[in-house]
Amino acid sequence: MGAMTKSALAIVRCVAACGGGSAKTDAAVDAARLPGCETPIAGTTLSLRQVNSVDDAAMLVTAPSLDPRRFVVERGGAIRIFVDDQLLPTPFLDVSNNIAAGGEQGLLGLAFHPQYATNGLFFIFYTTSNSNVVSRCSVTADPNVANPTCTPVLVVPDFAGNHNGGMIEFGPDGYLYIGTGDGGGGGDPMRTAQNTNNLLGKILRIDVDTKDTGKEYSSPSTNPYVAGGGAPEVFILGLRNPWRWSFDKETGDLWIGDVGQGGSEELTVLRAGEQVGRNLGWSRYEGTICCDTASDSCRQTGTQYPCDPTNIVMPQDEHLRNEGWISIVAGEVYRGSCYTDMIGWHFYTDHASRNAGLWKARLRSDGSLEVVDTNLALPDNVASIHADARGELFLTTTSNTIYHIEAGP
Ligand SMILES: [Ca+2]
Ligand SMILES: [Ca+2]
């Protein structure tokens, strides 16, 4: 690491104060385990502090509720644990023998059950050579070691190595949300995204606490196609590759970054209560571009979808290829307590992060977005921006590095 800035030094104290305590995870966990920062820092000058690196592409940082450890997903199939910025030598879990990894494939997602402290359950998303898999895993008596065998819960057949989605999160309703890509290739060749019977090109929603006959989950009765018209797991449709998305942990708003074809990188916010059954457009539209008239490969051979925006939710923020964006990486709304002027802003970028830099956005009351280029330079190859249990934001890269986003005067 290079020289630390003044604000970086301040946050070292802050994180130490916030961290406290041991890393144990059991029923004794309570809110007192993760106090807010003793000396919150005001200011809008952002900085990055590299906290560490892992041995493989760092896809995501997350943590169980009220747990001070940070769990890092490696694309090759391991989940690593940091305790007070120190990487534990033994992986929490290693599923590298069960997955296909590299490029857009690999171990891509991790979500801890909301009652992880008492039931020890967590869920992972990974790719195989011909499917996208969500599996249920569990911790052992050692809180830093998981059982090596997980149980597949949902297997979505896939036909190409790209566009696999990969993000999973529990929503404020306690259901597990799962992002899937359109399958891959270019131009939605199998036209999965608008097909309500196909699980590709969607955000799915399942209840992992109850099981329908023959399944490891049930579909909530409030999903849009439970009574017919599509697959019961479908929650949101019309996505190309929702690589990263997240819920605002305070409002329940859903922030979705959908990676575009060759025209538009899309950021869409669906407010709480306005999410079920929404159609984000692909592959009738790429962003606000109708594919029937587009010059890039979102235009398909054969019969086109009509240019009809009825019932399609258009993105509130778009970035074009000629701005240097290639694959949007939606992040998360900051709800931590260390940096008071970051609170309520969603931080996001692009996989071509050196070109894009760090951006922030927040909703206006009319549903539009206030968008700000923070002018903070980023390292190449960002894979995610996601919060730990304290609400602090960590930026990961496929170059294996992990950074804490910080702010100061
Ligand atoms: Ca695929
Ligand atoms: Ca769209």
Q: What is the CATH number of the domain that holds 329?
A: 2.120.10.30
Local structure of 193: helix, strand or coil: coil
Per the domain annotation, does 329 fall within a domain? yes
Q: What is the pTM of this model?
A: 0.92
Q: Is residue 196 part of a domain?
A: yes
Question: Shortest CA distance to 242 belongs to which of 265, 224, 219?
Answer: 265
Residue 1 within any structural domain of the chain: no
Q: Does 306 fall in a domain? A: yes
Please indicate, yes or no, if residue 261 is contained in any of the structural domains: yes
15 CA to centre of ligand 1 in angstroms: 38
| 165 CB neighbour count, 10 Å cutoff | 32
Q: Is residue 204 part of a domain?
A: yes
Select from 271, 272, 267 the least CA-distant residue to 288: 267
Across the chain, what does the average pLDDT equal? 91
> Tokens 């575009």 correspond to what residue?
260
**Which secondary structure element, helix H or strand E, spans residue 10, and what is its range?**
helix 6-19
Distance from the CA of 408 to the center of ligand 2, in angstroms?
35
Place of tokens 């050692």: 142
Question: What digits encode the pLDDT tens for the residues 347-391?
Answer: 999 999 999 999 999 999 998 999 999 999 999 999 999 999 999
CA–centroid distance, 160 to ligand 1, in Å, is 4
Q: How far apart are CA 409 and CA 406, in angstroms?
A: 11
CA of 139 to the centre of ligand 1 (A): 29
Give ion ligand 2 contacts, CB < 5 A: 266, 280-281
Instruction: Look at the chain and report how many structural domains it folds into.
Output: 1
pLDDT in tens, 209-266: 999 999 999 999 999 999 999 999 999 999 999 999 999 999 999 999 999 998 899 9
Q: Tell me: the pLDDT tens digits for 132-182?
A: 999 999 999 999 999 999 999 999 999 999 999 999 999 999 999 999 999
What CA–CA distance (Å, rounded) separates 312 from 151? Answer: 36
Task: Give 208-211 contacts, CB < 8 A, sequence gap 24+.
Answer: 208/113, 208/121, 208/123, 208/136, 208/153, 208/175, 208/176, 209/174
Ligand nearest to the CA of 190: 1
Cα–ligand 1 centroid distance for 232 (angstroms):
21
Query: Could you tell me if residue 112 is inside a domain?
Result: yes
> Ligand 2 centre and the CA of 284: distance in Å?
9
Containing structural domain, residue 190 = 6-408
